[in-house]
Amino acid sequence: MSSFKSVIAGIGGYLPESVLTNEDLAQRVDTSDEWIRARTGITQRHVAKEGEYTSHLATKAAQAAMKDAGLTADDIDLIVVATTTPDLTFPSTATIVQEALGMTHGAAFDVQAVCSGFIYGVTVVDAMIKAGQAKHALLIGAETFSRILDWEDRATCVLFGDGAGAFVMSAAAADDDATGKGVISSFIRSDGRHRDMLYVDGGPSRTQTVGHLRMLGNQVFRHAVTDIAAAIETCSANAGVETADIDWFVPHQANQRILAGVAKKLGVDPGKVISTVATHANTSAASVPLAFVAAKADGRIKRGDLVMLEAFGGGFTWGAALLGY
Ligand code: ACO
């Protein structure tokens, strides 16, 4: 047992200003607002403007999270950025954010688990805090998926958006009741046999290009519902918590039908499932913290609540994390 726990000291998010509606998309490809809403629940998405990169969104989300925590970059000793759309192949987006925040101390690195990146990041940062390797960490999920979409493929280009969300995760004494429970349990999984169902058809080693996202949508859908439900059950069981006792579920925002499918499978009240998919679309690793920020801002998630985060993405990768916020 570690003498430390990791608590969520602050949260923040950032969405690029420009908005692309379903009607805008219907001007570009053979689709309709009706089809997109009915199949996904999405009505619009935010898209980064030219010259606005993943690191820019990440830095803004990080600044908001530090402000919420009452901390400055001087206090932060670790930056982890979960992203699949880094500014460059290298250096990591985390080091670019570190420089943008004016930090010349600490360590920074990226985590790549596609849409599950934030859950993987919670797991990694929690472990590092418990091992005494960080006191105040910035965990950022940041993406510009608009840059890897095939804008002529109606089956994929309607699903994604850009954005960033961040948590400040701080070390507290494991027996300090005043700081809240923090990360209670987390569970991550992957199964590389399914990598051809959701992937990008380019990369530095194989093609020397960036490539475009490709997906077998209905296969992904089927796996996502089953695997997310199982991850939530495992994560709850490991913590000795009944799913009925969880106050809020903050899922990766891929598709309203996936959110509904998981809630139905687990017998969870859909009113406890936070959804931002209508206005954010799928922002990959950014979607969980952005949904958390939205639910805190509108007064649903409050300090002391028991919150389950969960996600599923390319690889396949998936996982869940239970927090006492
Ligand atoms: N507008 C109009 N028609 C479309 C569009 C579109 N944007 N996209 C596909 N279609 C058509 C297809 O061409 C097909 O036409 P056909 O029958 O003439 O061949 C028809 O709609 C049905 O296509 P399906 O792919 O079977 O449609 P489905 O009901 O499975 O819905 C969707 C597609 C929304 C992608 C769904 O499979 C899905 O949500 N899958 C989950 C995948 C997901 O969310 N991925 C995100 C990344 S992974 C993650 O984050 C979990």
For the chain, give percent helix, strand, coil, nearest 5.
40, 25, 35
CA of 217 to the centre of ligand 1 (A): 5
Count H helices and E strands in the chain, helices first.
10, 13
Cβ of 255 below 6 Å from ligand 1 = yes
Cβ of 158 below 6 Å from ligand 1 = yes
More confident residue, 67 or 2: 67
Residue 235 is among the residues annotated as catalytic for this protein? no
Spell out the long-range contacts of 173-177 with Cβ–Cβ below 8 A and sequence spacing 24 or more: 173/3, 173/4, 173/5, 174/1, 174/2, 174/3, 174/4, 174/5, 176/5
Domains of the chain: 4-178 (3.40.47.10), 180-324 (3.40.47.10)
pLDDT, mean of residues 148-161: 98
Cβ of 278 below 6 Å from ligand 1 = no
Reduce the DSSP state of residue 207 to 3 states and report it: coil
CA of 254 to the centre of ligand 1 (A): 12
Mean pLDDT of the chain: 97
* pLDDT for the residue 1: 75
Q: Determine the Cα–Cα distance for residues 108 and 91; give it in Å rounded to an integer.
A: 10
**Residue-wise pLDDT tens digits, 304-324:** 999 999 999 999 999 999 999
| Closest Cα to atom 12 of ligand 1 | 155
Catalytic one of 46, 115, 235, 280:
115
Handedness of CA 180, 299, 145, 189 (dihedral sign): positive
State the pLDDT confidence band at 179, using cuts at 50, 70 and 90.
confident
State the pLDDT confidence band at 115, using cuts at 50, 70 and 90.
very high
State the pLDDT confidence band at 264, using cuts at 50, 70 and 90.
very high
CA of 116 to the centre of ligand 1 (A): 21
Residue 115 is among the residues annotated as catalytic for this protein? yes
Q: Determine the Cα–Cα distance for residues 134 and 301; give it in Å rounded to an integer.
A: 26
Alpha-helix runs per DSSP H in the chain: 22-26, 33-40, 54-69, 93-100, 117-130, 154-157, 217-239, 256-266, 277-280, 287-297
CA of 218 to the centre of ligand 1 (A): 7
Residue found under tokens 């649903």:
300
Cβ of 225 below 6 Å from ligand 1 = no
Residue 252 is among the residues annotated as catalytic for this protein? yes
**Residue-wise pLDDT tens digits, 237-263:** 999 999 999 999 999 999 999 999 999
| Nearest Cα to Cα of residue 241 among 315, 174, 187 | 187
Catalytic one of 56, 212, 252, 280:
252
Pocket test for ligand 1, best of 220, 225, 252, 317 (most atoms within 8 A of CB): 220
Instruction: Looking at the CA of residue 252, tell me the nearest atom of ligand 1.
Output: 50
Residues in the chain: 325
Q: Determine the Cα–Cα distance for residues 79 and 97; give it in Å rounded to an integer.
A: 8
CA of 155 to the centre of ligand 1 (A): 5
Reduce the DSSP state of residue 185 to 3 states and report it: strand
In sequence order, the β-bridge partners of residue 267 are none
Q: Determine the Cα–Cα distance for residues 273 and 262; give it in Å rounded to an integer.
A: 10
